[in-house]
Amino acid sequence: MAYDTDFSAASHRVTLEGRGRLVVSGVEDVDRFDENEIVMNTAEGALVVTGENLHIDKLSLDGGELHVDGRVDALSYEDDASGARGGLLSRLFGG
């Protein structure tokens, strides 16, 4: 039995339903988060989500999928990935 654990090959997809539900696939790590901002590293670079009352509803480590509830005001990719390592998941799991 074989398991595919290569996150670099994960496809990256962003699905925004209205402004209240966001699903992101291809998530490799969550750098930081609070009610107004979530910064994550994806297969396509660092993605910043800003808004109000943002809550991580689901984070799948196996599938690289993140679900966010709250009011989403903006999504943007950062060109500078200098903070791409040492995110929340790396600190929690020693990666």
59 compared with 82, residue with greater pLDDT: 59
**50 within domain boundaries:** yes
Q: Give residue-wise pLDDT tens across range 2-61.
A: 444 444 446 899 999 999 999 999 999 999 999 999 999 998 899 999 999 999 999 987
In a domain, 85, yes or no: no
Which CATH number goes with the domain that contains 43?
Answer: 2.60.40.2000
For residue 39, give the nearest of 56, 63, 17, 18 by alpha carbon. Answer: 56
Q: What is the structure's pLDDT at 6?
A: 47
Domain span including residue 21: 7-80
pLDDT number for residue 88? 61
Instruction: Tell which wins on pLDDT, 92 or 2.
Output: 92
The pLDDT value recorded for residue 92 is: 60
- Name the domain count of the chain: 1
